A and B are shown apart, each in its own frame.
Chain A
Amino acid sequence: MPTLRPTSAPELLAAVKEALADATPIEILGQGTKHDLGRPFQASRRIELTGLSGISLYEPGELVMGAGAGTMLSDIEETLRKNRQELAFEPPDLGPLLGSAAGAQTIGGVIAGNLAGPRRIKAGAARDHFLGFHAVSGRGEEFKSGGRVMKNVTGYDLSKLMAGSWGTLAVLSDVTVKVLPAAEKTRTVLVTGLDAARAVAAMAAAMQGPCDVSGAAHLPQSLAMASGVSYVSGAGKPVTALRVEGTPISVAYRCAELTKEMAGFGPVEELHSMNSARLWRELRDAQFLVEPRDRPVWRISVAPQSGAGVIQAIARALEARWFMDWAGGLVWLSLPPGTPDAGAAMVRAAVGEQGHATLYRAPADLRASVPVFHPQPPALAALTQRVKLSFDPQGILNPGRMYAGV
Chain B
Amino acid sequence: MPPLMPAPDRSVLDRRDQIAAALRTVVPGEGVITDEDERRAYESDGLAAYRQMPMLVVLPSAVEQVSRILRYCHDNNIKVVPRGGGTSLSGGSLPLEDGIVLAMGKFNRVLEIDFDNRCVVVQPGVTNLGISDAVQHAGFYYAPDPSSQIACSIGGNVAENAGGVHCLKYGLTANNLLGLEMVLMTGEVIRLGGRHLDSDGYDLMGVMTGSEGLLGVITEVTVRILRKPATARALLLGFPSNESAGDCVGAVIADGIIPGGMEMMDKPAIHAVEDFVHAGYPLDVESLLIVELDGPAEEVDELIRRVEAIARRCGATYLRISNTEAERLTFWAGRKAAFPAVGRITPDYLCMDGTIPRARLPEVLTRMAALGRKYELRIANVFHAGDGNLHPLILFDANAGELERAEKLGADILRLCVEVGGVLTGEHGVGVEKRDLMGTMFNEIDLAQQQRVKCAFDPNMLLNPGKVFPTLHRCAELGRLHVSGGRLPFPDIPRF
A residues at B contact (CB < 8 Å): 2-7, 10-11, 14-15, 17-18, 20-22, 51, 59-64, 84, 114, 116, 120-121, 124-125, 127-128, 137, 139-145, 147-161, 163-165, 169, 180-182, 184, 204, 207-212, 246-247, 249-250, 253-254, 257, 301-305, 326, 329-330, 353-356, 358, 373-374, 376-377, 379-380, 383-384, 386-391, 393-394, 402-403
Contacts and interface: CB of A to CB of B under 8 A. Distances in A.
Interface residues of B, number: 102
Contacts of A114: 198, 203
B298 A208 contact: no
Contacts of B479: 390, 393
A386 B457 CA distance: 8
A120 B483 contact: no
Nearest to B449: A143
Nearest to B169: A180
For A2, A7, A164, A384, the residue with the greatest tally of chain B CB atoms inside 10 Å of its CB is A164
Contacts of B493: 4-7, 11, 14-15
Contact of A389 (B189, B447, B450, B456): B456
A240 to B, nearest CB: 16
Interface of B: 114-119, 160-161, 163, 167-168, 171-172, 174-175, 184, 188-192, 194-207, 209-211, 227, 229-230, 250-251, 253-254, 256-258, 295-296, 298-299, 302-303, 355-359, 384, 387-389, 421-430, 434, 438, 441-442, 445-447, 449-450, 452-457, 468, 479, 481, 483-486, 488-490, 493-496
A149 B207 contact: no
Contact of B201 (A209, A380, A390): A380
B116 A204 contact: yes
B355 A152 contact: yes
Nearest to A152: B423
Given A160-B207, A379-B188, A6 B494 contact: yes
29 contacts: A3-B496, A5-B495, A17-B489, A59-B359, A62-B357, A114-B203, A116-B197, A143-B445, A147-B355, A151-B167, A151-B388, A151-B427, A155-B438, A155-B446, A155-B447, A155-B468, A156-B454, A165-B203, A247-B302, A247-B303, A356-B200, A374-B201, A377-B191, A380-B191, A387-B456, A389-B456, A390-B452, A390-B456, A402-B201
Contacts of B427: 151, 153
B190 to A, nearest CB: 5
A159 B175 CA distance: 13
Contacts of B172: 151
Given A155-B450, A354-B196, A390-B449, 19 more contacts: A5-B493, A6-B494, A61-B251, A61-B253, A124-B171, A145-B446, A147-B421, A153-B161, A154-B430, A155-B468, A156-B210, A156-B454, A157-B207, A160-B206, A250-B296, A373-B200, A379-B188, A379-B190, A380-B201
Given A153-B427, A161-B453, A303-B195, A124 B202 contact: no
B298 A61 contact: no
A288 to B, nearest CB: 20
Contacts of A207: 118, 227
B202 A384 contact: yes
Contact of A301 (B196, B204, B227, B251): B196
B118 A153 contact: no
B203 A394 contact: no
Contacts of B355: 147, 149-152
Contact of B445 (A18, A142, A147): A142
A402 B457 CA distance: 20
A21 B483 contact: yes
B198 A143 contact: no
A156 B438 contact: no
